[in-house]
Structure 1
């Protein structure tokens, strides 16, 4: 038996008309679980084929960015601005299970690639549609703009009054991809019971707002505007602040319980801090954040960071060293998340599926991110 036949989505046929990151991330997710994903690209190809860093080969069409979301797929060029391309799409959609799109509202209808048109040919079709601002807003959605408009950049500033900062990955695109995955899996479950397909619509705006979590709740409950704290936490201290130890180790604490704080003070040979009325309980520490952070920064600068992390680990006090991307990917625990190089692409990749199950195997390998396919 082919190992891919054991995967839970084996036999599922997916057409990917989406481009850039959010939609293609969903396509790779489905491919990793066994689906047959055909990426239908316009004549110029997915725009991320041209997004290169200075370190990359200027001639390649499989850029690092493109490879981040396109493992395990086949590629085919399809010009939907002409009748022949639309006819070809309709033939493919008639036999497909899922279609992934990221058109601005109204554009899919112009290309005869909309849900109404395709579902008339295939009532079991599940159609996933990503927009920037919802099905009635024609404004195009861009991750950085949504980060600005939904509070993420404001909260990600180093501190109050400091310049807002964008996250270093397209976090809103990735959150949207997760929302669409959940919607598609829900629709697949429903189709098993009803035999009917569905339109699943997800916007970058809604996905971002849904992910504000405690920050949104803080505003709704208190009426106050959450303020940027750098990497600090608004309701837990010490949590998120980065300290530099004597040996140059940059480390972060995530002390969420009073007992953990007592252990931290003991390891730092400052047990009196745990009995200080300013720091005894978490609400006290939040109220006296600046004073505690100053004391911690001074004391941690006097000790070995590596030894401190080892001692905290023995006491189950949450803490970790700040790693680079390369260091994170090289860590032994990260190895199962890496896709091995494949023919045509001599580089590793990162899985989008981060869960595992005893009911099916993990896909041990995937075909490489595809070069531009034939027409």
Structure 2
């Protein structure tokens, strides 16, 4: 799709490289410039306990597929000349310089535009280009409310187990770059600068939790996997064979069908469970009654009946179980990086047909 596109990545860690990874998966030539004074992207050394020392870390491999890596010192005149040549040939540049570094290395948008007048310059910042705060995903999850509402009622505020804010910012930036590429079809000589911040991306993604506060003045509380507006939704139930399952019941019809599957039609007729608002108010009692029915059923048969009746349900799987499926296996990309066999899920999972 982007076989004629050249991208220069002046970014490290996760958000910026995830944007470069998006374009490399779609056929673009992506040249990743890493700081040789610091032995490259810092995530090369973010290894789990017991992980092999051969090649880069699994973390690094997650967003650096099929890139040409150049180790450069942006403060060295000879390396600067090489980078400027790369930029002069590029269609897109991705950066995540902290405040002042773009000026320090003469690699601001204006600097790069002087080298390449049609460049699309994408930049990711933490709290906006005018802020000098260091921004790791954890800090953004704390600052933007995600940690405050994530976890069980009795647990402390809890970080999500992946760098979701980095990924949200990466989505914002690549969407902006795609818009600029589309605009250049009408204005081929027009340069563009696109900036996305982790902070803005996080706040914009609060969606219904934000409106629950903005419109209802309801501060979201930690309720585990439960949904603040729907029930049963997110409660965890245990089947006869010890599997954990959950339901996402979004309508009265789905609840009625679930009750039929569980041979508990009487629940849908009881006043405290008839409508969604009633079920939200009485969700603990409802969960107890559903568990009494679920624990008598085998997981596979229960989920089969739910699929047959179009009731949203799932077994709660660990990652070993996830990647045992052919469907998940079909989404993997493999590559040998510096002597290490690496594998990661694709970031581009959409289909385009003519």
Q: TM-score range by the shorter chain?
A: over 0.9
Residue matched to 1:367: none
- The alpha carbon displacement at 1:217 in A equals 1.1
Alignment pair present for 1:38 and 2:31:
yes
Q: Select 1:354's aligned residue among 346, 349, 354.
A: 349
**Is residue 104–residue 131 contact of structure 1 (8 Å, CA) maintained in 2?**
yes
Q: Select 2:293's aligned residue among 296, 299, 302.
A: 299
Alignment pair present for 1:163 and 2:144:
no
Structure-2-length-normalised TM-score: 0.96
Distance (whole Å) between structure 1 residues aligned to residue 9 and residue 239 of structure 2: 48
The count of residues paired between Structure 1 and Structure 2 equals 350
Unaligned runs of 5+ in 1: 1-7, 360-375
Distance (whole Å) between structure 2 residues aligned to residue 148 and residue 62 of structure 1: 29
Residue matched to 2:16: 23
**Is residue 240–residue 252 contact of structure 1 (8 Å, CA) maintained in 2?**
yes
Q: Tell me how large the CA RMSD over aligned residues is.
A: 1.4
Unaligned runs of 5+ in 2: none
- The alpha carbon displacement at 1:273 in A equals 0.3
- The alpha carbon displacement at 1:299 in A equals 2.7
Distance (whole Å) between structure 2 residues aligned to residue 150 and residue 20 of structure 1: 20
- Superposed, 1:132-281 pairs within 5 Å as 132-159=126-153, 162-195=155-188, 196-281=190-275
- The alpha carbon displacement at 1:342 in A equals 4.3
Residue matched to 2:43: 48
- Superposed, 1:41-120 pairs within 5 Å as 41-43=34-36, 44-58=39-53, 60-120=54-114
Distance (whole Å) between structure 2 residues aligned to residue 338 and residue 250 of structure 1: 26
Distance (whole Å) between structure 1 residues aligned to residue 76 and residue 167 of structure 2: 32
- The alpha carbon displacement at 1:92 in A equals 1.3
**Is residue 21–residue 65 contact of structure 2 (8 Å, CA) maintained in 1?**
yes
Distance (whole Å) between structure 1 residues aligned to residue 288 and residue 191 of structure 2: 58
Structure-1-length-normalised TM-score: 0.90
- The alpha carbon displacement at 1:335 in A equals 2.4
**Is residue 86–residue 113 contact of structure 1 (8 Å, CA) maintained in 2?**
no
Aligned-partner SS, 1:253:
strand
1:41-82 alpha-carbon deviations (Å, 9 max, x no partner) = 111100011111123212x23210111000110111110022
1:196-240 alpha-carbon deviations (Å, 9 max, x no partner) = 121110110001111111101111110121112100001110111
**Is residue 66–residue 335 contact of structure 2 (8 Å, CA) maintained in 1?**
no
- The alpha carbon displacement at 1:104 in A equals 1.2
**Is residue 100–residue 129 contact of structure 1 (8 Å, CA) maintained in 2?**
yes
Distance (whole Å) between structure 1 residues aligned to residue 34 and residue 335 of structure 2: 23
Which structure has the higher relative contact order (CA within 8 Å, separation 6+)? 1
1:96-149 alpha-carbon deviations (Å, 9 max, x no partner) = 111111111221111111111001111110111111000111111100111111
Q: Which is further off, 96-105 or 296-305?
A: 296-305
**Is residue 278–residue 284 contact of structure 1 (8 Å, CA) maintained in 2?**
yes
Aligned-partner SS, 1:339:
strand
Distance (whole Å) between structure 1 residues aligned to residue 234 and residue 33 of structure 2: 42
- The alpha carbon displacement at 1:162 in A equals 2.8
Distance (whole Å) between structure 2 residues aligned to residue 342 and residue 314 of structure 1: 43
Distance (whole Å) between structure 2 residues aligned to residue 194 and residue 258 of structure 1: 51
Distance (whole Å) between structure 1 residues aligned to residue 110 and residue 330 of structure 2: 41
Alignment pair present for 1:127 and 2:121:
yes
